[in-house]
Amino acid sequence: MSEIPHQARGAIALDAAACTSCMLCVKECPDWCIHIESHNEEVSEPGARRPRSVAVLDSFTIDWGLCMYCGICVEVCPFDALHWVPEHDYPAPDAQGLRHGIARLEEFGPS
Partner 1 sequence: MSGVTGPPGPLWEPWADAVAQRVAAGFDRLDLLTAVDRPASGEIEIVIHLVRRPEAGGLEDVWGHTLLDRAAPMLESVTGLLPAAAWHEREIHEMFGVQVSGHPDLRPLLLLDVASPPPLRKDTPLVARVDTPWPGARR
Partner 2 sequence: MPTRGTGDYAAGMAREQRVYAVVSHPEVRVHVRDLGLACCAVEFASAIGRGLLVPAEPSTSGAAVLVVSGTVTDALAPEVIAAWEALPEPKAAVSFGACSNSGGPYWDSYSVTKGVDRVIPVSTYVPGCPPRPEALVDALVALVVPA
Assess 34 for contact with partner 1 (CB under 8 A): yes
Least distance to partner 2, CB of residue 84, Å: 13
Please calculate the CA angle 83-84-86 and round it to the nearest 5 degrees: 150
Please answer whether residues 88 and 11 qualify as being in contact, where contact means their C-beta atoms are separated by less than 8 angstroms: yes
Nearer to partner 2, 8 or 43 (CB): 8
Nearest to 16 by CA among 66, 111, 80: 80
Stretch that binds partner 1, among 2-10, 35-43, 44-52, 79-87 (CB under 8 A): 35-43
What part of residues 43-62 is at the interface with partner 1 (CB under 8 A)?
A: none
